[in-house]
């Protein structure tokens, strides 16, 4: 059998999902092997290259695992610290952000251009801050060329519209997973599916409470 090229870009994007949803590389590998429905929870429109790569390694889980870049999942304390700093750094641009778009979801490339050309602030780690915004406010991945951000949640965070205590996390800052096209059907009891956002609203609320303290 001819060697199948590793779809590095798509596998790298999966690390965003892994970090956000606290999934290990083993979890991501399991989801890729679980079938099309499970795969589309990671990427809505997987390329033929990714599908061919999975098919070529159905009996070699280690090969799939090796293709996923190594990543670490940030600790909750660090995430909270970054979110606070993000709001402080961008505070003077909050109104500009609010007026720029009223859409709830935005293509990441649009926001990236806006961030680079319109937002004015002094910060030594501006590029790194942009990566954190992608990490925290990623909503879902359509394809390798189309990432959707939860712009409404990003604006809510900048304005700190919901005052909460540190032990009562704001679920609006979690990705509002658009899973209506994948939440039904066989396998909905799978723990991985619950961790990827297809559990009940009550379960989802408890899971979301772990994350994202936006208290001053």
144 with 46, same domain? no
In a domain, 216, yes or no: no
142 with 201, same domain? yes
In a domain, 90, yes or no: yes
Is the predicted pLDDT of residue 99 greater than 50, yes or no?
A: yes
59 with 87, same domain? no
184 with 106, same domain? yes
In a domain, 112, yes or no: yes
Q: Is 123 helix (H, G, I), strand (E, B) or coil?
A: coil
- How large a percentage of the chain has pLDDT more than 70? 73
Q: Give the residue numbers spanning the domain of 30.
A: 8-67
User: Looking at the 3D structure of the chain, how many domains does it have?
Assistant: 2
Question: How many angstroms separate the CA atoms of 21 and 18, rounded?
Answer: 5
Cβ–Cβ < 8 Å for 39, 32: yes
The DSSP 8-state label assigned to residue 106 in this structure reads: E
Question: How many angstroms separate the CA atoms of 103 and 116, rounded?
Answer: 19
41 with 117, same domain? no
pTM above 0.85, yes or no: no
81 with 171, same domain? yes
Last residue of one domain, picked from the residues 30, 50, 67: 67
The pLDDT tens digits of the residues spanning 112-163 come to 999 999 998 888 899 999 999 999 999 999 998 999 999 999 999 998 754 3
In a domain, 213, yes or no: no
The pLDDT tens digits of the residues spanning 14-38 come to 999 898 889 999 999 999 999 989 9
Is the predicted pLDDT of residue 108 greater than 60, yes or no?
A: yes
Last residue of one domain, picked from the residues 49, 67, 85: 67
In a domain, 1, yes or no: no
The DSSP 8-state label assigned to residue 1 in this structure reads: -
Partners of 150 in the beta sheet? 105
Cβ–Cβ < 8 Å for 203, 72: no
102 with 195, same domain? yes
81 with 41, same domain? no
The pLDDT tens digits of the residues spanning 158-185 come to 987 543 333 433 433 344 344 344 344 4
110 with 167, same domain? yes
27 with 110, same domain? no
58 with 139, same domain? no
104 with 12, same domain? no
């Amino acid at each position: 059998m001819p060697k199948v090229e590793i779809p590095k870009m798509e596998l790298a994007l999966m690390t965003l999902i892994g970090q956000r949803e606290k999934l290990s590389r083993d979890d991501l590998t399991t989801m890729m092997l679980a079938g099309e429905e499970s795969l589309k929870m990671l990427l809505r429109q997987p390329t033929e290259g990714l599908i061919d790569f999975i098919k070529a390694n159905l009996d070699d889980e280690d090969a799939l695992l090796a293709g996923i870049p190594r990543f670490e999942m940030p600790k909750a304390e660090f995430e909270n610290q970054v979110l606070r700093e993000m709001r402080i750094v961008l505070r003077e641009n909050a109104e500009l952000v609010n007026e720029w778009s009223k859409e709830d979801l935005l293509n990441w490339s649009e926001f990236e251009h806006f961030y680079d050309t319109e937002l004015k602030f002094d910060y030594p780690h501006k590029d790194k801050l942009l990566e954190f915004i992608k990490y925290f406010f990623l909503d879902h991945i359509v394809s390798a060329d189309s990432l959707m951000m939860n712009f409404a949640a990003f604006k809510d965070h900048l304005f700190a519209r919901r005052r909460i205590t540190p032990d009562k996390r704001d679920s609006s800052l979690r990705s509002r997973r658009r899973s209506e096209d994948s939440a039904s059907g066989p396998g909905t009891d799978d723990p991985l599916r619950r961790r990827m956002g297809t559990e009940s609203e009550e379960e989802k609320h408890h899971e979301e409470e772990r994350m994202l303290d936006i208290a001053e």
